[in-house]
Chain A
Amino acid sequence: MNLDLKNYTLFLADNALILGQRLGEWCGHGPVLEQDIALTNISLDHLGQSRMLLQYAAKQVGNGATEDSLAFFRNEGEFRNLLITELPNNDWAYTLAKHFLFDTFNFFQYEFLMNSKDETIQAIARKAIKEIAYHAQFSAEWIIRMGDGTEESHQRVQNAIDELWMYTGEMFVADSSSEAMTKAAVAPDYALLKEQWQEKVSQVLEIATLVKPEEGWMQKGGREGKHTEHMGYILAEMQHLPRTYPTAKW
């Protein structure tokens, strides 16, 4: 087994899984039925992508591993998702800002992955890119709507962007597995994605009449399994049934 490829596959899978899990929390609680349905669709997209990736990771792991054994029986330190994906939803502004910052990154990431040297990742990326482009469009539009909406919405979304900013640096700093995958042309050069991301984010924030935060100090750790306080709660909830009844089939 190529350990770097496995780690990298899990990085992609876990981002999608944790985002999908978090977005699922909105289901039934959205600001209006139409948007409740929209967010659930996005959650389903993420979960669908994570399943394909986890199935691929499971194949690499072997020993009877499955998408479910990887989702439900790994410990916190084995999850490789970015910290921004595990942050709570808070309000609509915070959730959409989180997604906007991530989706924009994800779009450029998957744009590269459509030509990844790894055939499975390439195939998954080609399937997922339409969804991912839609997510990026959706969240960017909401940032603009809120930024250029009312005074309250402007303030809320500006605060959210400011608070979330320190979780964006980690997107562009590769861990050793990602680096190896970049060398093998399986993964993009993350440092290079930063420029495209900056440009798009600046453009949207400007249209939204929002202020782009200063670079500042950045959090990191997700890619190496070092997570925020929130991650433990996510896993406690997500994993509790399969772990309580480890021999059960559902």
Chain B
Amino acid sequence: MDKPNDNWKIWEVFIRSKNGLSHKHVGSLHAPDADMAIKNARDVYTRRSEGISIWVVPSEAVTASSPDEKEPLFTPADDKVYRHPTFYEIPSEIGHM
């Protein structure tokens, strides 16, 4: 027999803590539909009045930029090689600069 379909899908939760600030990712939760995801988010992530507005997004709907499989993360600096002194080729006879 098939395993029963009792696993709720996963949603990402974003909360605006007060007007003037943008929604910020706070975590995820499980819910069968958007209505319940919003209610669950309220109960789970705003028990201490942490927010005044909630967004929920099915996690599967989020497209994230992704490093290639083997590419290491540590890229922030790598993106901006021009900041590194070695980016500039200096003839060796000039010596240390």
Chain B residues 35 to 56 lying within 8 A of chain A, measured CB to CB, are 35-36, 39-40, 43-44, 47
Q: Which residue in chain B gives the minimum CB-CB distance to A42?
A: B43
Chain A interface category by residue count: 10 to 19
How far, in angstroms, from A82 to B47 measured CA to CA in the complex? 30
Q: Using an 8 Å CB-CB cutoff, how does the interface string of A121-158 with B read, 1 for contact, 0 for none?
A: 00000000000000000100100010000000000000
Q: Using an 8 Å CB-CB cutoff, how does the interface string of B12-42 with A read, 1 for contact, 0 for none?
A: 0000000000000000011110011001100
Q: Are B40 and A41 in contact (CB under 8 A)?
A: no
Minimal beta-carbon separation of A164 from chain B (angstroms)? 24
How far, in angstroms, from A34 to B40 measured CA to CA in the complex? 6
Q: Are A32 and B47 in contact (CB under 8 A)?
A: no
Q: Are B30 and A32 in contact (CB under 8 A)?
A: yes
How far, in angstroms, from A34 to B36 measured CA to CA in the complex? 10
Number of A-B contacts (CB under 8 A): 25
Chain A residues in 8 Å Cβ range of B35: 141
How far, in angstroms, from A33 to B28 measured CA to CA in the complex? 13
Q: B47 is contacted by which of A35, A41, A145 (Cβ under 8 Å)? A: A41
How far, in angstroms, from A141 to B32 measured CA to CA in the complex? 13
Q: Is A211 an interface residue (CB 8 A)?
A: no
Chain A residues in 8 Å Cβ range of B88: none
How far, in angstroms, from A207 to B5 measured CA to CA in the complex? 23
Minimal beta-carbon separation of A77 from chain B (angstroms)? 37
Q: Is A236 an interface residue (CB 8 A)?
A: no
Q: Using an 8 Å CB-CB cutoff, how does the interface string of B60-78 with A read, 1 for contact, 0 for none?
A: 0000000000000000000
> Which A residues contact B (CB, under 8 angstroms)?
32-35, 37-38, 41, 138, 141, 145
> Which B residues contact A (CB, under 8 angstroms)?
8, 29-32, 35-36, 39-40, 43-44, 47
